[in-house]
Amino acid sequence: MTKSNRREFLTKAGVAAAAAGATTLAAPAVHAQAPIKWRFQTYAGSALGQHVTKPAIDAINAAAKGELQIELFYADQLVPTGELFRSMQKGTIDAVHSDDDSMAAPVDISVFGGYFPMATRHALDVPVLFRQYGFAEIWSEAYKKAGGVVWLSAAGQDPCNFNTKKRITKLDDLKGLRLYTFPTAGRFLSQFGVVPVQIPYEDAEVAVQTGELDGMAWSGITEDYEVGWADVTDYFLTNNISGAWIGSWFVNEKRWADLPSHLKQIVLSGIESGHFYRNQWYFGGEAKLRAKGKKLKVETIPASEWKEVEVAASKFWDEIAETGETAAKVVQIFKDYDAVRQKAGGLYTCG
């Protein structure tokens, strides 16, 4: 390059740089938008919540990159579990992870949340029912009618087995047992002599130690070990009254409407990742702890005798179906799905 050409090049470069600098100086300052903040409460206590709720919240917060910040609270930390729906509806809490039954949702499908007797066999039954058999539309519509709350997603978790101080080997052994359980599960079990007790989640362990409770009909064995219930009870009954907990994620209607669409997608994706984590965590634990766990002795009521519970569940379904049009529709779906499982056989019909 000649001297003349170099001089011309440097002159032009200097002009361009000056112009760029002027443009930079003239541009208005860009201020970061304040993050959207939610207060979120789960039905689960702090130990269980680390597995059933926190992974999803962590995923959402990480993906949102500061645009949305969700603060997680565990069972009863802000409001009692039975007040979750009303608090969310009023905006005291922005979002919730719970079953419809426990949070006393005033919707015509609340009885099916939590553990509806013998309606599911495995955790994966729940997403199948919601995505392939129409439950998602039914739940969404139910909360639209209630107003103020949006139903987002549902998934299954562990089965509803029994962990007790007393050894149970026959159906009559349930008589008189004071068990911590869900509202609908307790209503069903009372016909077998169980005395259902509802207290704050974190109080259940101490209640067994003080003799207020004889045990729990609340979870599978994975949860028993994780939250400390295996430390205060002696036996685990493999028979269950439901193969999977039906729980959902909800949000205050206005908070959801105000959320930008890309953040809505992040929330939904985070919830789905949480569903996946819970399924493998629970399912793997159920096998490992029944086979290798050292704290609870595993017992089973013979299938021929447990058949009485299954027959009672069928009658219970019909009673619930008579309470309203939506209830009848949900029960019929359960029956249709059960017929498919029975015909398929194998793991689809085992308890």
Query: What are the beta bridge partners of residue 237?
Result: 162, 299
> Do the Cβ atoms of 168 and 235 come closer than 8 Å?
yes
Q: 151 and 276 in contact (C-beta within 8 Å)?
A: no
What are the CA-CA distances from residue 247 to residues 100, 114, 157, 169, 184 (Å)?
7, 6, 8, 30, 14
| Residue whose structure tokens are 């016909």 | 191
Vertex 198: Cα angle to 53 and 208 (nearest 5): 90
Report the predicted TM-score, pTM, of the whole model to 2 decimal places.
0.88
Give the residues of the chain that fall short of pLDDT 50: 1-31, 351
- pLDDT tens across 321-339, in order? 999 999 999 999 999 999 9
Contacts of residue 12, defined as CB under 8 A and 6 or more positions apart, other chains included, come to none
Distances (CA, A) of 272 to 12, 222, 252, 266: 56, 21, 19, 10
Q: Report CA-CA distances (Å) from 312 to 117, 271, 319.
A: 9, 35, 11
pLDDT at res. 41: 98
Cα distance between residue 165 and residue 143, in whole Å: 39
pLDDT in tens, 217-235: 999 999 999 999 999 999 9
Which residues fall within 8 angstroms of residue 245, CB to CB, at 6 or more apart? Answer: 99, 114, 115, 156, 157, 158, 159, 160, 219
At 346 the pLDDT is 76
Residue 35, classed as helix, strand or coil, is coil
Contacts of 290 (CB under 8 A, 6+ apart): 221, 236, 238, 298
**pLDDT for position 34:** 85
pLDDT at 27: 44
pLDDT of residue 15: 43
pLDDT in tens, 9-61: 444 444 444 444 444 444 444 445 789 999 999 999 999 999 999 999 999 99
Candidates 150, 126, 162, 349; CA nearest to 245 is 126
- Which residues, 6+ apart, have CB-to-CB distance to 2 below 8 Å? none
Cα–Cα distance list, 173 to 15, 177, 298 (Å):
92, 8, 15
For the record, the structure tokens of 252 come out as 């205050």
Give the domains, in start order, of the chain with CATH numbers.
Answer: 36-156+246-292 (3.40.190.170), 161-242+294-348 (3.40.190.170)
